[in-house]
Chain A
Amino acid sequence: MSKRFRTALLALAAIASMSPAAAQQFPQYRPPRMADGHPDLNGIWQAFVTANWDLQDHEAQSGPHPEVMGAYGAGPAGQSIVEGGEIPYQPWALEKKKQNFEKRATADVSSDKKWHEIGDPEFKCYMPGVPRATYMPFPFRIVQGSSPYILMAYEFTSATRIIRMNWKGEAPTPSWMGWSRGRWEGDSLVVDVTGQREETWLDRAGDFHTEDLHVVERYTPVSPYHLMYEATIEDPGVYTRPWKISFPLYRRMEKNVQLLEFKCVPFTEDLLFGRFSKETGK
């Protein structure tokens, strides 16, 4: 083996080790490129896992009000997308997750201070945060051009987030969708997300985090029709160690498919504000 050849092999091995393990089940794929040489991730993408109901293994379940919603409110069964199966909660946090779940379909906005205390933010149509936005049962579009910004536009409540490529500096202020800094590692778009509001949840099962949440996402094209998505989730006040999720994103292929509106605020107004109206208010 010539020295040059060995160097090449080592370099390749180093590159391979950067690419996500899950992506390796796919044959080698070289995605189409933008003018800057990076992979072109433009398109409408959607997850087909049921993690929005529960990140971990879960059976099909009735909704919170089967007496009025019947099978319409029920959720599908699904397998865990968490590496190793379970989220490594600290004991107190596991307890809080259970309490969250019990009150997931409730809301009380009568006091500013208790505004966010109970209920799943999705139930109230609040922006979902990251990574939840990625596996909600709605599509999203990646808009990648020739500026140092990539836009993620989600159908759910028309939420958006801007990924600032090679941005240096901390999140200036907490926000619902967080502060996203991107970079390329080989063919993977790697996004570092901090500055997320503590109120967002990870799913309807009550999985949660604090404002110290640190998410590192990787979007890796593995075929013309798939991105492999991975996220490492870290929050030392809640979990005993960083943990990882992964699943594929599928390209939406319908002719003329476009992102539509799921502006859900009007679907929540009676729930949130109805009790203060003249007809019913005290």
Chain B
Amino acid sequence: MTAQAVDPAPGAPAPDAPVEHRTVETVSSKAPVILAVLTGLLALLLVAAHHPGDVRFALGSSHDFFEIPVIVVPGPVVAWGGVVVMAALTAVAFVLTSALRRHVPAWVTVPFAVVGLVAFLAWAGAGSPRDLSITGLISGAIALSIPIVYGALGGVIGERAGVVNIAIEAQLLLAAFTSALVGSITRSPWAGLVAAMLAGVLVALVLGVFAITYRVNQVIVGVVLNVLVIGITSFLYSQLLVPNAQALNTTPRFPRVGIPLLERIPVIGPAVFNQTVVVYLMFVVTAAVWFGLYRTRWGLRVRAVGEHPKAADTVGIKVNATRYRALLMAGAVAGIGGAFYTVVSIGQFGREMTAGAGFIALAAVIFGKWDPLRAAFAGLLFGFASNLQSILSVVGAPVPSQFMLMLPYVITLLAVAGLVGRSRGPAASGVAYEKE
């Protein structure tokens, strides 16, 4: 056997230096295939693990305008009905992409996802004597996603400006610690919130000094910051907070503030409109970050220094100053997410209580294709996956708890591994800018 093709000698000068190709999104036939696979998997699940009995969907809560009784339906019937609808939607998607060369529109994918979810829940909850609370599912999903959403928004701003922020975890953790401490001392959750934002800014500043000013590899700085903050907070926790738990680690929490009328809407009312101010703020901040990045002069400049800093520099934008400003703002946003752990959720700090939410937030940035709205949505999705696991094991679904605990991470890995289509980050993200 002889080699058929001879590689060009290593190091031989290529005629042109390889130009980095920018892909333009085209109509892809991947989406209908994914829909078909999902439909098939669900059908397979229904066949392989037949699970008879009724499922009890609880839609209401005691505060609604009108009481919705618990809906009791036969699980397998609903599940199979769902599979039929999903198959029909998949067929529509195939027709649209192959015959009409159109994207799979949202009016196919969104109902597909909803029907698929209902079918899955009907399968999982069948035969359980317990109510499957839809309100609980949604409100828990929102609660679990809050730090992820804030962290992801912070990540998006930083990366759009060209600074990779691996240290979201550090920002969340230090912010959680600081807000517990300040909240406990001042007895005010608002003071805790402000302190948390400052803590997020502090981490961002350290990241900025090394990554922007000293041009150290941004990923390495981020990783080091994560480890550093884990160490500092754990140390201070055991030396300072534990011996003085009553004075330093018992912060008042934000009360829930119901929005009149809206909170009484069945199903979503208690979940969305009876929350703490930090949750409402999340919706505002998400919209504001989107508006800021895409509709203001500031956003244009941020994106310019993230995509092509040299070009930005030539037209007179101060690249590093713009990056610093963006990074510090991102730190404040991530800091609010950290405050959630203490001044909203539990009321006290615990060692490494963020448990990796910052890394999930980083995944949400990529899953969301560096777009604030999509990243926030990705954060909600991860929160939803976590809560789904919890709700399903309460109703006693026939899924092993270990598998369910794995679910959010599996979804994250699939998402980051590029299953959602090609995602392309800002071109200059992670590259320090050096003025020539």
Are these two chains actual partners, yes or no?
Answer: no
B residues contacting A by CB (< 8 A) are none
Residues of A within 8 A of B (CB): none
